[in-house]
C-alpha cells in the first residue's frame, strides 16, 4: 500500500520500543485482505484471505522481525540468531542486513525450501545446516543465545509476537469487526498466539464487539497439538510447519480453548489440493504450509463444524515463490516449439 509506513509506525501507540530506538523497517504489513469468491461458494461462508506473502520477504515473519531487530539494535546487540524451517531465517537475514547486524541461522538439513535458503544466502546470513529437525535447531539456538552475546529472534522472544499481533488489528480495521472464525496453519504456534492476543486487546478496548473462534490446522505428520503429545519425527510436504514440539504450546491451547476453537490435522493430499485450488481459482500463489489453513477450512465445513453464513478469514502465511520445487513437481512437460505461428496455433489446438 502506497504510503504505508510499516507496522511499528502504523501502530505506534500500541507497540512499545526501548527508549531512543531507531525503527528498522522494510514497510512490512498492510497486506491485502481479499475476498475469496470460489471458497465462499464452496463453503457457504464469506471467506477472506489475509495474504501475508505480500510482505517484504514474502511471509508474516516480517511483522515480528521489524520489532525484534529494532529491539536488538536499540539494546546494543551486534548479532542475532534463530532456528528456522526457512521463513524466519529469510526474514531475520533481511532485517539484520538492513540494521547492519550479523545474523546466523540454524536450519534443518535438506528440509528448507529453496527460495528461503536463497534469501538467507543473498542477505548475507551465516547459515548452519544442522543434522536434525527444527526442534533440534531451536533447542541449539536457545542454548547458544543463553550463553553468548547474540539475541534470539525466534518467536520465543516475546517482542516477535507483539509485532505479529498487528495482522489481527489490520483485519479488524478493514472489516470493522473480527471474523467469526479465523483459520491458521500452526507450526511452532507463535502466530496463533499472537493473533489471539491481538483480537483480545481490541476486544478489551471495545474496538470490536466479539473475538473470533481460532481454528488451528497442522499437517497430519506433524500434528502434536492435535494429538496432545510431541511428535518425535515430524514429516510433511509443508516444510514450514514441520515442527514436532511447538514452543508456544500452552498459549496456543489457551487461545483455542478460550475462543471455542479447534485444532485439526489435514493430510498432505488435502494441503496440496488446497494449494492448487488457491492458485487456480483464487489466483493466490502460496507455499504449501499456507494452504493448510484453507485445507482445514474445507475439512471443517465438510464435517459440519463450521456453520454456513460465517465470516471467515484464512491467513495464507507465505508466498508460493518460496518453494518452486513443489510448484513444478508432478507438472506437465513443457516442450519447446519452433519459432512458427502455426506451431503455436497447433499446440493450442486453435482452429
Ligand atoms: N506458515 C508458514 C509459511 C511458516 O513459515 C510458519 C512457521 C507457519 C505457518 C507457522 O507459524 O510457527 O507461528 O505456528 N515457520 C517457522 C519458521 C517455524 O522457522 O519460519 P507458527
Q: What is the pLDDT of residues 162-210, one digit of tens each?
A: 999 999 999 999 999 999 999 999 999 999 999 999 999 999 999 999 9
Q: Which of 156, 177, 209 is the last residue of a domain?
A: 156
Q: What is the ipTM of this complex?
A: 0.99
Residue 331 is predicted with a pLDDT of 66
Q: Is 190 known as a binding-site position?
A: yes
Q: Give residue 330's pLDDT band: very low, low, confident or very high (50, 70, 90).
A: low
200 and 240 in a single domain? The answer is yes
pTM of the full predicted structure? 0.97
180 and 318 in a single domain? The answer is yes
Ligand 1 pocket residue status of 84, Cβ below 6 Å:
yes
Residue 340 lies in a domain: no
- The secondary element (H helix, E strand) that includes residue 143 is helix 134-147
Ligand 1 pocket residue status of 290, Cβ below 6 Å:
yes
143 and 76 in a single domain? The answer is yes
CA distance 323 to 326: 6
Quick check: 315 pLDDT over 80?
yes
Atom 10 in ligand 1: residue holding the nearest Cα:
187
Q: Which of 124, 156, 188 is the last residue of a domain?
A: 156
Q: What is the mean pLDDT of residues 316-341?
A: 90
Ligand 1 pocket residue status of 66, Cβ below 6 Å:
no
Ligand 1 pocket residue status of 154, Cβ below 6 Å:
no
Mutate to test the pocket of ligand 1, among 53, 154, 188, 322 (most ligand atoms within 8 A of CB): 188
Q: Is 100 known as a binding-site position?
A: no
Quick check: 147 pLDDT over 70?
yes
- Cross-strand bridge partners of residue 181: 213, 312
Residue 134 is predicted with a pLDDT of 97
* CATH code of 260's domain: 3.40.50.1100
Residue 333 is predicted with a pLDDT of 76
Residue 192 lies in a domain: yes
CA–CA distances in Å: residue 294 to residues 50, 133, 278, 288, 297: 11, 26, 8, 10, 5
Q: What total of structural domains would you count in the chain? A: 2
Exposure class string for 264-289: b at 16+ Cβ within 10 A, else e: bbbebebbbbbbebbeeebebbbbbb
Q: What is the mean pLDDT of the chain?
A: 97
Q: Is 188 known as a binding-site position?
A: yes
Ligand 1 pocket residue status of 259, Cβ below 6 Å:
no
134 and 169 in a single domain? The answer is no
Ligand 1 pocket residue status of 59, Cβ below 6 Å:
yes
Distance 186 CA to ligand 1 centre (A): 7
Distance 133 CA to ligand 1 centre (A): 14
135 and 175 in a single domain? The answer is no
Query: Which residues constitute the domain of residue 137?
Result: 61-156
Ligand 1 pocket residue status of 191, Cβ below 6 Å:
yes
Q: Of all atoms in ligand 1, which is nearest to the CA of residue 154?
A: 19
282 and 299 in a single domain? The answer is yes
Quick check: 305 pLDDT over 80?
yes
**From 95-104, 179-188, 289-298, 326-335, the region with the lowest mean pLDDT:** 326-335
Q: What is the mean pLDDT of residues 294-301?
A: 98
65 and 55 in a single domain? The answer is no
Q: In what order do the strands lie in the sheet with 151-152?
A: 126-130, 102-108, 79-83, 151-152
Q: What is the pLDDT of residues 263-293, one digit of tens each?
A: 999 999 999 999 999 999 999 999 999 999 9
Q: What is the mean pLDDT of residues 136-163?
A: 97
Percent of the chain with pLDDT over 90: 96
Query: Grid coordinates standing for 291?
Result: 494452504
Distance 258 CA to ligand 1 centre (A): 22
Q: Is 86 known as a binding-site position?
A: no
253 and 214 in a single domain? The answer is yes
Quick check: 18 pLDDT over 90?
yes
Amino acid at each position: 500500500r502506497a504510503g504505508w509506513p510499516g507496522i511499528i509506525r502504523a501502530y505506534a501507540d500500541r507497540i512499545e520500543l526501548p527508549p531512543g530506538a531507531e525503527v528498522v523497517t522494510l514497510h512490512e504489513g498492510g497486506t491485502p485482505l481479499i475476498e475469496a469468491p470460489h471458497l465462499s461458494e464452496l463453503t457457504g461462508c464469506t471467506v477472506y484471505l489475509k495474504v501475508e506473502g505480500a510482505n517484504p520477504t514474502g511471509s508474516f515473519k516480517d511483522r515480528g522481525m521489524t520489532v525484534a531487530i529494532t529491539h536488538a539494535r536499540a539494546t546494543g546487540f551486534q548479532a542475532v540468531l534463530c532456528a528456522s524451517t526457512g521463513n524466519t531465517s529469510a526474514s531475520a537475514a533481511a532485517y539484520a542486513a538492513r540494521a547492519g547486524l550479523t545474523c546466523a541461522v540454524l536450519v534443518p538439513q535438506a528440509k528448507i525450501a529453496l527460495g528461503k535458503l536463497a534469501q538467507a544466502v543473498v542477505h548475507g546470513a551465516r547459515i548452519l545446516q544442522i543434522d536434525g529437525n527444527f526442534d533440534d535447531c531451536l533447542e541449539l539456538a536457545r542454548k547458544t543465545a543463553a550463553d553468548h552475546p547474540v539475541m534470539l529472534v525466534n518467536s520465543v522472544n516475546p517482542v516477535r509476537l507483539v509485532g505479529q499481533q498487528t495482522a489481527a488489528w489490520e483485519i479488524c480495521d478493514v472489516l470493522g469487526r473480527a471474523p467469526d472464525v479465523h483459520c491458521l496453519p500452526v507450526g511452532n504456534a507463535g502466530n496463533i498466539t499472537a493473533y489471539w492476543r491481538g483480537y483480545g486487546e481490541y476486544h478489551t478496548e471495545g474496538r470490536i464487539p466479539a473475538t473470533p473462534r481460532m481454528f488451528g490446522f497442522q499437517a497430519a505428520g506433524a500434528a502434536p497439538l492435535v494429538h496432545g503429545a510431541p511428535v518425535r519425527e515430524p514429516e510433511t510436504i509443508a516444510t514450514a510447519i514441520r515442527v514436532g514440539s511447538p514452543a508456544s504450546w500452552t498459549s496456543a491451547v489457551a487461545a483455542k480453548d478460550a475462543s471455542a476453537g479447534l485444532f485439526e490435522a489435514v493430510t498432505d493430499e488435502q494441503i496440496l489440493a488446497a494449494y492448487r485450488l488457491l492458485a487456480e481459482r483464487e489466483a493466490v500463489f502460496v507455499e504449501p504450509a499456507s494452504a493448510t489453513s484453507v485445507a482445514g477450512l474445507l475439512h471443517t465445513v465438510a464435517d459440519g463444524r463450521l456453520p454456513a453464513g460465517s465470516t471467515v478469514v484464512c491467513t495464507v502465511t507465505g508466498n508460493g515463490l518460496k518453494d518452486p520445487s513443489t510448484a513444478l513437481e508432478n507438472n506437465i512437460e513443457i516442450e519447446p516449439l519452433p519459432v512458427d505461428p502455426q506451431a503455436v496455433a497447433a499446440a493450442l489446438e486453435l482452429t
